[in-house]
A and B are shown apart, each in its own frame.
Chain A
Amino acid sequence: MTNYGLVIDQERCIGCQSCSLTCKQENNVPMGQFWNRVLTQGGDHVDTPSGDYPEGGDGGTLEMTYQPTACQHCENAPCVKVCPVNATYTRDDGIVEIDYDKCMGCRYCMAACPYNARVFNWDEPEHRPEDGTGDVAERPQGVVEKCTFCSHRVEDGLDPACVVNCPADARIFGDLDDDDSTVSKYIAEYDTHQLLDEKGTDPSTYYINGEMSPGRPWKSKKLESELDDDEAAKAARRRSGSVENGYDVTPHVPAETAGGDD
């Protein structure tokens, strides 16, 4: 079975908010709403650290981490369990999705979600430009909406928009059930944690802290162009999918549906 998951390398994240914005654009998210937020862990404001500046010869204690936060696509998703009308459900591929034609807007799921990942259309959604953006139809007033792992893209063999448009390669998408997938390898190799793991929701989103990952399907320290033949072949074997010039161009989605990047 396919079980999609996301690895976010907090050591790589530069807090540029590209994932947040591209998400808004791709998914036609209304004004005043965000499905994907890059939070600053540190000071009281965005992009501010906690601690003291280095003064008088000491090193200072400034500290700041970016915490990109969207729907965690939990395996034991509280929102799915509370939805009285089966509008929120877990797909066979592990993506937690909302049937916007069924949702009656009771907002029990918003009470259930420990991550505040869900937003509600309190009024008629507004878009800029007015006709909206991206490839997803707008959701009506009175329903709850949230990140879908860009299921419309994943179904077309593409990575979620936030993954593709992360300039720091801090986001890696793939199949958690496939031991050879990059996400599985990263989770095995790097120090990862799930957000609020003490709540027992078992999110499909993992965060890397500590050692920085290379942020790409192959784990060599070398760049793509610097790999020797053996390494390239190994990287390619990891996926049975489409191989172009020795490298898997869309390594994170099943081979049979893999298309080109964007």
Chain B
Amino acid sequence: MADDDTTARRPVLSSFGTLGRGWLGVLALLLVIGLGAWAYQLQHGLIETGMRNVFSWGLYIMLFVLFVGLSAGGLILSSAPKFFHSQRYEGFARLGVLVSLGCIIVAGLLILPDIGRPDRIYQFVTSPDFRSPMVWDFGIVMLYGALNVWYLWLLTRRDLAARGSRLSLWVSDSAAGRDRDRTLMFWTAVCALPAAVALHSVTGWIFATQVGRGDWFSPLVAPVFIAKALVSGLGLLLVVSILADRFTAFTADRGELTSLGKLLGIFLAFHVVYLLAAERLPHAWAHHFGFWAITSNFLIGDTVYFWLWTGLGGAVPLLLLATPSLRRRTAVIFTASVLAVFGTLFEGIRLVFTGYQRVNINAAPGIATGGEYAGLTTDAWATAGTYTPTAVEIAVTVGVISIGALIVMAGLRYLPLQRAAPDAAYATDGGDRTQ
């Protein structure tokens, strides 16, 4: 039944206000700088990036991987309960799908500056090779983006109609319509869950299928991608929810926040503790003899990225969320979620580094890096991959991310993200809301 709570049909931001306008201005400025940097890069070529022949994927792909993962949270969190006909976490569903949509658009757009000839991207459609995991990923990213748009509209269209918004696209608000939408939401959830699993697995398989790149060639990569999508996606959803709760009319249920924080802790434990151990133990066991040699080789990492991921982005938030007295505080959940997203970023950076740092045939002089020719004395060769992103790359990346932030801002301003209290028929949700 349609509820009477008309305030719920309003956007959580009734106007942008001074703070909102300032933030929009910052985002617009970042977008303009990013576009300028991209134009500069298009003109001069990818020589303006830190990538070279040995280390041929950099920040764009690292963040593509991160944002594909980030887009998981909202869609999974809003569709999983619906799949089980539960109202749990319903208050986060709309905001979650909005954040998912923003992230998958950022991920897709990050591919554009990475490729050398963006003018030829139509070849994906006109001349695809279906053996290529990148073609699978192109398809699933498109599908996932479309699914997010449909789902977000489905979740909000009756409230939009009730408000007389043109965004409802001539759908009218009626009790029968809302009932029909509930059925549609169930079936959308039925499609969304496997689509999310496919999205993260296929993105993992881009790396996991490659025999030539060290640790990439591992069957564990796809499950790890699912785990890190759960961690970072839920982390980002919590961050955005808490910020929306703080700065807009959006209210996040405290009990559910704590419950989601606990869930994030479980995801973190699965990703950073269990899967990492499962990945490393067999190799450490096979390659070393003494008990401590085995143990230290599977517990101890080698790069700073590893520690930023497992320590600052893994162990610390896990401890925060595992302590019952701490995880009840919104500030703690916020901090842990930020750290979890941060950790996942470095997990992706580490993954790309493990592929490119070592080369299989590293005899002297190595591989021509293909950088700008600067005369006879330049050392144009490398026997190992090194990479530092350039200012151009960072500016382009930040610009693309600002598009995602602008999408979320538009959603906050124009969509009814705050769901009204669930009607009586669906109120029995296991009582978890009182936790």
Residues in chain A within 8 A of chain B (CB atoms):
30-34, 37, 39-46, 48, 67, 69, 78, 81-87, 102-108, 110-116, 118-124, 126, 140-144, 195-196, 199-201
- Please give the distance in Å from A32's CB to the nearest CB on chain B: 4
- Given A45-B364, A87-B123, A122-B45, do A32 and B212 touch, yes or no (CB 8 Å)? no
- Please give the distance in Å from A131's CB to the nearest CB on chain B: 16
- Please give the distance in Å from A4's CB to the nearest CB on chain B: 22
Interface SS of B by simple majority: loop
Residues in chain B within 8 A of chain A (CB atoms):
44-47, 49, 51-54, 56-57, 111, 114-118, 120-121, 123-124, 127-129, 131-135, 138, 206, 209-213, 355-356, 359-361, 363-373, 380
A44, A122, A195: residue with the most chain B Cβ atoms closer than 10 Å? A122
User: Please, how many angstroms separate the alpha-carbon atoms of A115 and B116 in the complex?
Assistant: 21
User: Please, how many angstroms separate the alpha-carbon atoms of A116 and B369 in the complex?
Assistant: 10
Which listed residue (B47, B116, B117, B135) contacts A84, Cβ 8 A? B135
Q: Is the CB of A84 within 8 A of B138?
A: yes
Closest chain A residue to B207, Cβ basis: A111
Contacting residues, chain B, for A34 (C-beta < 8 A): 368
Q: Is the CB of B371 within 8 A of A32?
A: yes
Q: Is the CB of A111 within 8 A of B46?
A: no
Contacting residues, chain A, for B209 (C-beta < 8 A): 82
Contacting residues, chain A, for B365 (C-beta < 8 A): 37, 39-40, 45-46
Contacting residues, chain A, for B124 (C-beta < 8 A): 84-85
Q: Is the CB of A31 within 8 A of B373?
A: yes
Which listed residue (B128, B359, B373) contacts A126, Cβ 8 A? B373
Q: Is the CB of B367 within 8 A of A116?
A: yes
Closest chain A residue to B111, Cβ basis: A106
A–B Cβ pairs within 8 angstroms, 17 of them: A32-B368, A33-B368, A39-B361, A43-B364, A82-B210, A84-B128, A86-B127, A86-B129, A110-B53, A110-B56, A111-B57, A116-B359, A119-B370, A121-B116, A124-B45, A140-B117, A141-B116
User: Please, how many angstroms separate the alpha-carbon atoms of A195 and B359 in the complex?
Assistant: 14
Q: Is the CB of A40 within 8 A of B53?
A: no
User: Please, how many angstroms separate the alpha-carbon atoms of A43 and B127 in the complex?
Assistant: 46
Contacting residues, chain A, for B52 (C-beta < 8 A): 122
Which listed residue (A32, A45, A123, A201) contacts B211, Cβ 8 A? A201
